[in-house]
Amino acid sequence: MLALPVGSGTTLAGLRSALPSRISVCGFQAFSDSALSSRMTAAISNVPSSWSVQPTLAMGSHARLPAVLLDFMQSFECEEKIALDPVYTVRMMARLCDLIRMNALPDGSQVVALHTGGLQGRRGHLSSLAA
């Protein structure tokens, strides 16, 4: 399974169209958008393979970093030595770690989490937390 954060869904649609059908693609929705799934279905309707979109924590608050996500981000970065951005990848990784902890992935799943960048957004979020 390829896991990636999703905003508008264009990266997911492009990857789903380009990857072999044996690879499932799971997007982790960063924003509240009730039309996302229907747009995704229309965008990749010609691709007969598996994809899904998972909700994430604090989808409606992308302009701020809730304390629970800040705590997760700091813990994850300390343990894994991988910086997360405060809008997309932190939401994806927090939800993905929850799914793994809950054994909610199919047995034998291999997961590749795609870090899509966005680290420049840390400056604004983290400086506002320090104030």
The sign of the CA dihedral 19, 110, 98, 85 is negative
pLDDT band at 128, cuts 50/70/90? low
CB-CB contact of 115 with 82 (8 Å): yes
Tell me what the mean pLDDT of segment 67-88 comes to.
Answer: 93
By C-alpha distance, which of 98, 99, 91 is closest to 115?
Answer: 91
Q: What tens digit of pLDDT does each residue of 91-117 get? A: 999 999 999 999 999 889 999 999 998
* Residue 54, Cβ density class (10 Å: 0-12 exposed, 13-18 middle, ≥19 buried): middle
What's the pLDDT score for residue 3?
Answer: 97
Residue 130 has pLDDT above 60, yes or no: no
Tell me what the mean pLDDT of segment 63-70 comes to.
Answer: 84
| Percentages (nearest 5) of helix, strand, coil residues in the chain | 45, 10, 45
The alpha carbon of residue 13 and the mean position of all alpha carbons in its chain are separated, in whole angstroms, by 14
What's the pLDDT score for residue 40?
Answer: 77
Residue-range domains of the chain with CATH: 2-130 (3.40.50.1100)
Residue 62 has pLDDT above 70, yes or no: no
> Can you tell me the distance from the alpha carbon of 77 to that of 83, in angstroms, rounded to the nearest whole number?
6
